[in-house]
Amino acid sequence: MNDTQLNARQVNLLNYLMLNPNSSRAELEKSLANTDISRITNIRDLNHLIKLGWIELVGGGKYVRYILKKDREMLIPVNVDQYFSKTTDSRNVKYQNYNFDLINNLKGLFSNEERNLFEQGREKLKSQFNTLDKTILKRELERFTIELSWKSSQIEGNTYSLLETEELIKNKKQAKGHDRDEAVMILNHKSAFDIILEKKESFKDINILDIRSIHSELTKDLGIKSNIRQSAVGITGTKYTPLDNKIQIEEALTKLIASTNKLDNVPEKALIFLAMISYLQPFMDGNKRTARMVSNAVLLSNNYFPLSYRSVDEIEFKKALILFYEQNNIFYLKKLFLEQQQFAIKNYFL
């Protein structure tokens, strides 16, 4: 299924059904009351969406309703600006609590064309690692590490600039006017990525110890407990509330790892770990940076380009995660993930 087969009207219909499931044709037509879309055009669009497998009919006769197909709702091309035009408390949140069934539906996320992008990058990275002068390779790895440490920390609210981050990592010189914890956060990113590089073969199949050790490295000396969370935690900007029971969190994390490790598609595995560790929030803090680093460990251990997130807008990244939390829709996060893979292929290990 390719969202490029859809026009703006059809995307709007999908967005409406995402927030208003089990809608009748009359309700769908009412939602278009302030537009110049005719009834015939609306029917044609609905039939097209049925043909493409995005929606289906339930019921019969005058009781017929339209619903999203269960295995496609997570990939609906959401109008993000429209979705976030509503405030946190006024948005129609489909999943306010952790959805235990979500992990079962996370498969087939990439088209063949999208998978080819990763494979092309893999061939390029393999070639560069085999042919680049060791001094140049070391310099490129250092550049990548600096940019990843800077941007991943910036997403978490760190105020170091890229140049200040470079000075910190290269010369251990802390920038003036910044909190000590900001420097620690950045250096922890470097340390975690160094470990992934050193032991990259061990991350082909992720286990709980891997996730906990990466989290521990990312949060050391920051006063963050490395144990699995035992109490509730809130997330800024969303009504979604993660699990608050340690036993359930451990069970969900175990299921996530077992289900994802079974997949053959490595980029898909990396995207799922990125989304689901953030969604589950197994630790009191440091979950999103752990998710990004575990995702990179999966990519790098299988010789794919890791992501620095250098060109991503931190607000857009947070929107992508919130959309996933609230609607279990991975469309926007996948879009950013693909864009960052393209960026990595064009900008690193040249």
SS (H, E, C) 206-269: CCHHHHHHHHHHHHCCCCCCCCCCCCCCCCCCCCCECCCCHHHHHHHHHHHHHHHHCCCCHHHH
Span 56-70, pLDDT tens digits: 999 887 788 999 998
Mean pLDDT (whole number) for 300-323: 97
**Domains recognised in the chain with CATH numbers:** 3-77 (1.10.10.10), 102-347 (1.10.3290.10)
Mean pLDDT (whole number) for 254-267: 96
Percent of the residues in the chain that have a pLDDT greater than 70, as a whole number: 99
Distance CA 206, CA 209 (A): 8
| pLDDT confidence of residue 1 | 44
Query: Which is it for strands 65-68 and 55-58: parallel, antiparallel or unpaired?
Result: antiparallel
pLDDT of residue 7 exceeding 80, the answer is yes
Distance CA 326, CA 93 (A): 5
| pLDDT confidence of residue 4 | 57
Which of 264, 254, 188 has its CA nearest to residue 219? 188
Distance CA 348, CA 350 (A): 5
| pLDDT confidence of residue 3 | 58
Q: Which helix (H) or strand (E) holds 58?
A: strand 55-58
Distance CA 92, CA 295 (A): 30
Which of 159, 6, 165, 99 has its CA nearest to residue 328? 99
**Predicted structure pTM score:** 0.93
The distance from CA 136 to its chain's CA centroid, rounded to whole angstroms, is 31
The confidence band for 254, taking pLDDT boundaries of 50, 70 and 90, is very high
Out of 18-27, 80-89, 171-180, least confident range: 18-27
Residue type, 223: G
pLDDT of residue 96 exceeding 60, the answer is yes
Distance CA 318, CA 103 (A): 20
Out of 151-160, 178-187, 341-350, least confident range: 341-350
